[in-house]
Amino acid sequence: MVHLQEYNKRENKDETPILYLVYDPSKALDGVLSLKVYKLSEQFIKTYYSEDRFIPKNLIENKLSYKNIFEEVPTTLKNTFLTNLKLQELQLDEKDESLDVSSLAISSNYLRSVNSAVENLSDSIDSLNHNLGNLNYFQRNLSREVTKINQFKHKAKLEGKDPNDWRKQYRLPNAPSKMENLVISSLIQNYCVDLENTVALEQAKVAGVEKALEL
C-alpha cells in the first residue's frame, strides 16, 4: 500500500491514500452488508518514513502498534436495495404490456436466510422433542426399577439378608446425555435471536422505504 501511494503520488501527482476494502461475506445471508474501508494510519506513515523505521524508539515515539497500523475511513454507501425491496411489494398487472414483470423478480438473501433459519429451528425443535421423549422414557423406567429395588431391600431386611444384594438382581437404566439437550437448547436460542434481528432489520428497511419513496 505504501508503494502504491508513492507511485500514485509520483506518477499522477495524487495525494489520495490507497484504501483497503474489507468485505465479510458470512453476514450476507443475514441480509447485512459488512463492508469496511481502511487506510494506513498517520502513525504508520510517520514510522515508515522515519530513520531506521521499525525500531523500538520510533515505535514508541509515533505510538505505533499492531492495533493502529490501519485507520478506518468513514464510508457512506449508496445502493438501490431499498428501491428493490419496495418494488417487490408492488401489485403489478401482468396483462399490462408496458410492465416487464420478469425484471422485478429480484432474489433476496433475506428470504433465503429466513427460510434456512426456520428449517434449522424446526429441525432443532424436533431433536429436542426426541431427546425429551428419551428422558421421559428413562424416568419411567428408573421409577419402576427403584420401586422394585426398594421392595427387594425391604424383603431382604425381613429375611435377614444383605439389602445390597439388589445389585446382583437389578440394573438401573442408562441416563441419556444431558449435554446434547444443552447444545440443542442453545442452538434454538441462537436461531430465534437471528430471526428476531433479521426481521427487525427488514422492518426498519421497509419503514425507511415507505417514508422515502412515493410509489
Residue 90 lies in a domain: no
Residue 96 has pLDDT above 60, yes or no: no
Tell me the pTM: 0.42
Residue 50 lies in a domain: yes
E-assigned strands of the chain? 20-23, 35-40, 70-72
How many whole angstroms separate alpha carbon 35 and alpha carbon 22? 6
Residue 215: exposure state from Cβ atoms within 10 A (0-12, 13-18, ≥19): exposed
Task: Give Cα separations from 200 to 110, 134, 193 (angstroms).
Answer: 12, 36, 10
- Domain co-membership, 128 together with 193: yes
Residue 39 confidence (pLDDT): 92
Point out the domain boundary residue: 78, 96, 127: 78
3-state SS assignment for residue 86:
helix
Residue 64 lies in a domain: yes
Which of 70-79, 119-128, 163-172, 187-196 is predicted least confidently? 70-79
- Domain co-membership, 136 together with 192: yes
Residue 180 has pLDDT above 60, yes or no: yes
List of residues 6+ apart from 169 with CB closer than 8 A: 152
Residue 165 lies in a domain: yes
List of residues 6+ apart from 160 with CB closer than 8 A: none
Residue 38 confidence (pLDDT): 92
Residue 205 confidence (pLDDT): 66
One-letter amino acid of 9: K
pLDDT tens track for 31-46: 566 788 999 999 898 8
Residue 9 has pLDDT above 80, yes or no: yes
- Domain co-membership, 68 together with 162: no
Point out the domain boundary residue: 32, 59, 78: 78
Confidence of residue 103 (pLDDT cuts 50, 70, 90): very low
Residue 70 confidence (pLDDT): 92
Q: Give the number of domains in the chain.
A: 2
- Domain co-membership, 64 together with 19: yes
Which has the higher per-residue pLDDT, 187 or 215?
187
Mean pLDDT (the chain) is 78
- Domain co-membership, 72 together with 115: no
- Domain co-membership, 166 together with 123: yes
Residue 102 has pLDDT above 70, yes or no: no
Residue 183 lies in a domain: yes
Strands 70-72 and 20-23: unpaired
pLDDT tens track for 52-61: 888 888 888 8
- Domain co-membership, 202 together with 123: yes
Residue 190 confidence (pLDDT): 85
Residue 99 lies in a domain: no
Residue 106 confidence (pLDDT): 39
Residue 59 confidence (pLDDT): 87
Residue 83 lies in a domain: no
Residue 86 lies in a domain: no
Helices and strands, counts by H and E, the chain: 7, 3
Residue 74 has pLDDT above 50, yes or no: yes
Stretch 140-157: mean pLDDT? 90
Residue 105 confidence (pLDDT): 41
- Domain co-membership, 57 together with 148: no
Residue 4 confidence (pLDDT): 87
Which of 13-17, 95-99, 129-133 is predicted least confidently? 95-99
Domain that holds residue 192: 108-212
